[in-house]
Amino acid sequence: ELKHAEDHMLLLGRKNAMEKVAAFLLEMDRRLAGAGMLALPMCRRDIGDYLGLTLETISRALSQLHAEGVLGFSGARQIVLRNRQHLRDMDA
């Protein structure tokens, strides 16, 4: 838990919006799925609160990742990760 808290503090302080969203998606992938389909446990507003971003910024970032083919949507909270490596590169 301490490692997770430390990582979250670094995420909030040192990354831009897109890097934060990429890190969040990778974290959720590790925690929830690993198979490519993520059932997000929170709405976009809550994700924004968690990452220190606005709802609009979260929506723009997810839309941009979708347009780039990095992820797909299969419902309001269902995300299909199509290119994890691209997310990893953004998070590095």
Specify the fold of 2-91. Arc Repressor Mutant, subunit A (1.10.10)
Among 30-34, 47-51, 53-57, which is the least confidently predicted range? Answer: 30-34
Does the pLDDT value for residue 1 go beyond 70?
no
**DSSP structural state of residue 79:** E
16-46 pLDDT, tens digit per residue, is 899 999 988 988 888 876 666 888 888 999 9
Mean pLDDT in residue range 12-17: 78
pLDDT of 64:
96
CA distance 11 to 52: 10
* Three-class secondary structure of residue 76 per DSSP: coil
Angle at 37 between CA 36 and CA 38, to 5 degrees: 115
**Share in percent of the chain as helix, strand, coil (round to 5):** 65, 10, 25
Domain boundaries, the chain: 2-91
Query: Percentage of residues in the chain with pLDDT exceeding 70?
Result: 82
Q: 14 to each of 7, 8, 20, 21, 85, how far by Cα in Å?
A: 11, 10, 9, 13, 21
